[in-house]
Amino acid sequence: MSLTPTEFDYLEKKIGRKPNPVELQIVAAEWSEHCSYKSSKKHLEILPREGKRVISGPGYDSGVLDVGDGYVITVHIESHNHPSAVEPYGGAATGVGGVIRDILSTRPIAILDGLRFGDIEQDTHARWLFKNAVRGIADYGNCLGIPTVGGEIEFDGYFTNYALVDVAAIGFGKKERLIQNHADEGDFLVLIGGSTGRDGIGGSQFASDKLEAENRSAVQIPDPFIEKLVIEAILEARNQNCIKAMKDLGGGGLSCAISETADALSVGIELDISLIHKREENMSPSELMVSESQERMLVLTDQEKLSTLQKICEKFHVPYSVIGRVTGDSMMEVKAEQETIARLPSEVVANAPLLDRPTSKPKYLESMELTKKPSTPKNLSEVLLKMLANPNIASKHWVYTQYDHEVGIRTIIKPGSDASVLRLDNGKFLSVKIDGNSKHCYVNPRQGAIGCFDEACRNVVCTGATPIGMVDHLQFGNPEDPEIFWTFKESIQGITEYAKYFEIPCVGGKVSLYNETDTGPIKPTPLIGVLGLIEKKPLISKTIERKDFLVLVGKTKDELGGSEYYEYIHGAIGGKCPVVNMKSSKDNQQSVLELINQDLVQTAHDCSKGGLGVAVSEMCIRNEIGCMISLDKISAQKIRTDELLFSESHSRYLLAISPKHIKNTKSLLERHGVVHEIIGRFLGSSVVFKDGKKILISVRVDKAREKWLNSLESLVSHG
């Protein structure tokens, strides 16, 4: 719980004296990596944060985007990695609760999750973590009545004995009801929600170091029922103008909430810890200040509205305590009854000294160039079936059917599609997706991160949406290792390059470092969430009919580094990572959107993990129809058949087009100058890939469906 000697000296100089033990605990919580971003903050400044729809961006509890007609979307993303690796049910559940409280300027309408675990085919502990994290997310979200509408999952040996649990929350509401954080001297400080206990003590410091011990006291205890009441109380208090400013109690507990609120509003805050409603007896001042007990909100209100706020809390049976006042200075002063036990400048507490960590290119990247490619398997039909059963590709039906994704009646396109779509009250639609690919990012951190961004954009484009904003979640190992920090900087530079080119502002994000165990660090794992807006109507996939054409938009290249085919089939790590051509990607996106807007597309599906072979199979499985694909129609130079089938080149789309629309489709694509080919037609009951007259793959759709649909559930049910 202590500061480094350098930080201690810095603090002593700033306050002009030695800090007392309580002050040390307060500062240690706020200056932890998890809360202060002291390693990453200066590098995040390069991300584009401005845009015509941006109302507020990074640095607030949630980003806010204007979606027109007086309405806004709020969005935030968080992680609960260390806690979920120790206690997956509670860790994942409290991850959901925490991120939802960050968006309470509006009503929460959706949750998305991104999950990563070890090799569940070989590792029983990874299966245990996976099952219980999913159950925690499902139980918490279902209890709140907030639909979990989408996400993504990866399994990899580099996550052995660990878990990444990322949760994004989306809110929707009227612009005029947004809480404009401000405060005046004399305003009251009200702690609303669950009682403060000893759970979660030291959670921020626990998450700011390598996971070595199962410190269960640092894991918070979830209570979705009190969270539901807190949500309703906060929203009613907002509607009655009782809230001048608001802050979720997350990492660092009251220490961070108080110091960050005071610093952001340029005020002082005085609080009395003896007034806090507690769950346990004899809690020390330090415990009260750094406890991360869940379901708590800090609200600032004035004398005129205090009684109304209290009545609202009582109406919803939500516990509350009036614990302090806003002062005219810039100090955070903590009292225990009449005794001052800590008094520090909020600016000092809220702003840890930033670090400029050294970087060096990882030595392992030298071995990423494969001297010899894996040989082409003789039976490609068997390979395709094995790829469809790969846990990273197989249907996640077992996961999302545990989530109530329809509650709230907004969900138009449900989990399992390229992206999920929600109906908004102004007649528009919101398309949302999060994507990550740690295998690509390991082989090439910069291009891997760009690829994650491109994939998320492709997914929302496939629903007919134009990307309007993004959030990122950057997850890496120990930043004190120059090689790991190099991968972080490369990733953030790649994300920035893509965001600027496509003019997609970053409206929020999270950095999670020290993600490693005794077995080593995780692979670099940036996660990108993209929000897309649909002005008229989404592309709700129509049934693919016999003799519909299959059109491939985009170029397939010899770039299988980090591909599922190389790693899962051949055990080969390395090779050339897929590279995004920004201009081609933008042209392809705009062309596909125009085709969808002109109602020329039956179904659109992006080409990603598993490449063309998997993407075509998924379209056939979902529509219970076969397809005849002619690989010789694809203009790919110097590329083997298996590479053509399983390359994960970016910026590619598969479009099912009715014969009556094929002429107009080709005309539009030619006019835009994008690479495209008619590569096949839907017919029969088998997925068939041929090269000229030679049949390379022939797999019955029902057999492919059985592998794709049941493999993951079979693993977790019987493992």
CA atoms within 13 A on the CB side of 145: 9
Q: Are strands 339-345 and 603-606 parallel, antiparallel or unpaired?
A: unpaired
SS3 labels along 113-178: EEEEECCCCCCHHHHHHHHHHHHHHHHHHHHHCCCEEEEEEEECHHHCCCCEEEEEEEEEEEHHHC
SS3 labels along 84-128: HHHCHHHHHHHHHHHHHHCCCCCEEEEEEEEEEECCCCCCHHHHH
* pLDDT value for 417: 84
Q: Are strands 245-248 and 296-301 parallel, antiparallel or unpaired?
A: antiparallel
Report DSSP letters for 270-296, one per residue.
EEEGGGS-BSSSS--HHHHHH---SSE
Lowest mean pLDDT, pick from 90-99, 295-304, 371-380, 444-453: 90-99
Beta strands in 522-651 (DSSP E): 525-534, 549-553, 603-606, 627-630
Q: In which band, very low, low, confident or very high, does the pLDDT at 126 lie, cut at 50, 70 and 90?
A: very high
- The contacts of residue 296 (CB under 8 Å, 6+ apart) are 191, 192, 193, 194, 196, 230, 248, 249
Lowest mean pLDDT, pick from 62-66, 311-315, 406-410, 564-568: 406-410
pLDDT tens-digit readout, 633-668:
998 778 999 999 999 999 999 999 999 999 999 999
Copy the structure tokens of residue 284.
Answer: 């020390």
The residues that are catalytic are 34, 80
CATH number of the domain where residue 704 is located: 3.90.650.10
Lowest mean pLDDT, pick from 123-132, 212-221, 564-573: 212-221
Q: In which band, very low, low, confident or very high, does the pLDDT at 202 lie, cut at 50, 70 and 90?
A: low
Q: By the 8 A CB rule, do 608 and 455 touch?
A: yes
- Distance in angstroms (rounded) separating the CA atoms of residues 74 and 178: 10
* pLDDT value for 635: 81
Closest among 165, 164, 157, 127 to 568, alpha carbons compared: 157
pLDDT tens-digit readout, 203-252:
444 444 555 555 445 566 778 899 999 999 999 999 999 999 999 988 88
* pLDDT value for 207: 43
Q: By the 8 A CB rule, do 333 and 15 touch?
A: no
Three-state DSSP class for 342?
A: strand
What percent of the chain is predicted at pLDDT more than 90? 78
Mean pLDDT of 351-373: 92
* pLDDT value for 436: 95
Q: In which band, very low, low, confident or very high, does the pLDDT at 571 lie, cut at 50, 70 and 90?
A: very high
Tell me what the pLDDT averaged over the chain comes to: 92
Strand partners, 272: 335
Lowest mean pLDDT, pick from 196-200, 218-222, 564-568: 218-222
| pLDDT for residue 400 is more than 50 | yes
| Residue 35 within any structural domain of the chain | no
542 residue type, one letter: K
Beta strands in 225-360 (DSSP E): 245-248, 268-272, 296-301, 320-327, 331-336, 339-345
Query: What's the CA angle centered on 66, arms 450 and 184, to 5 degrees?
Result: 110
| Helices vs. strands in the chain: H and E counts, helices first | 25, 28
| Residue 653 within any structural domain of the chain | yes
- From residue 406, how far is each of 97, 151, 410, 433, 663 by CA, in Å? 19, 15, 7, 16, 38
* pLDDT value for 205: 47
Between residues 696 and 407, the one the model is more confident about: 696
Mean pLDDT of 611-618: 97
Q: Look at the chain and report how many structural domains it folds into.
A: 1
**Parent domain of 615:** 541-719
| Residue 595 within any structural domain of the chain | yes
Q: In which band, very low, low, confident or very high, does the pLDDT at 408 lie, cut at 50, 70 and 90?
A: low
Lowest mean pLDDT, pick from 223-227, 360-364, 487-491: 223-227
Three-state DSSP class for 525?
A: strand
- Distance in angstroms (rounded) separating the CA atoms of residues 133 and 118: 13
- The contacts of residue 99 (CB under 8 Å, 6+ apart) are 76, 77, 78, 111, 167, 168, 169
- Distance in angstroms (rounded) separating the CA atoms of residues 20 and 12: 11
| pLDDT for residue 347 is more than 60 | yes
CA 64 to chain centre: 16
| pLDDT for residue 112 is more than 60 | yes
Mean pLDDT of 140-156: 89
- Distance in angstroms (rounded) separating the CA atoms of residues 133 and 141: 12
Beta strands in 558-648 (DSSP E): 603-606, 627-630
Q: In which band, very low, low, confident or very high, does the pLDDT at 719 lie, cut at 50, 70 and 90?
A: low
By CB atoms closer than 10 A (0-12, 13-18, 19+), residue 395 is buried
* pLDDT value for 180: 85
| Residue 293 within any structural domain of the chain | no
Report DSSP letters for 373-441, one per residue.
PPPPPS-HHHHHHHHHHSTTTS--HHHHTTS--STTS-EEE-BTBSSEEEE-TTS-EEEEEEEE-HHHH
Beta strands in 442-570 (DSSP E): 466-475, 506-512, 516-517, 520-521, 525-534, 549-553
| Residue 132 within any structural domain of the chain | no
- Distance in angstroms (rounded) separating the CA atoms of residues 602 and 656: 5
DSSP assignment letter at 661: G
| Residue 226 within any structural domain of the chain | no
| Residue 189 within any structural domain of the chain | no
| Residue 569 within any structural domain of the chain | yes
- Distance in angstroms (rounded) separating the CA atoms of residues 627 and 296: 54
Copy the structure tokens of residue 137.
Answer: 């997310």
DSSP assignment letter at 190: E
Q: By the 8 A CB rule, do 81 and 207 touch?
A: yes
* pLDDT value for 206: 44
* pLDDT value for 97: 87
Q: In which band, very low, low, confident or very high, does the pLDDT at 302 lie, cut at 50, 70 and 90?
A: very high
- The contacts of residue 336 (CB under 8 Å, 6+ apart) are 272, 273, 274, 285
N- to C-terminal Cα distance for the chain?
Answer: 39
Largest Cα separation within the chain, whole Å, is 89
Q: By the 8 A CB rule, do 71 and 172 touch?
A: yes
Q: By the 8 A CB rule, do 74 and 64 touch?
A: yes
* pLDDT value for 518: 85
Q: By the 8 A CB rule, do 247 and 61 touch?
A: yes
- Distance in angstroms (rounded) separating the CA atoms of residues 279 and 433: 38
Spatial strand order of the sheet with 268-272 comes to: 245-248, 296-301, 188-193, 320-327, 268-272, 331-336, 339-345
Q: By the 8 A CB rule, do 404 and 611 touch?
A: no
- Distance in angstroms (rounded) separating the CA atoms of residues 134 and 338: 47
pLDDT tens-digit readout, 59-106:
667 899 999 999 999 999 998 888 889 889 988 988 888 889 889 889
- Distance in angstroms (rounded) separating the CA atoms of residues 364 and 476: 16
* pLDDT value for 542: 80
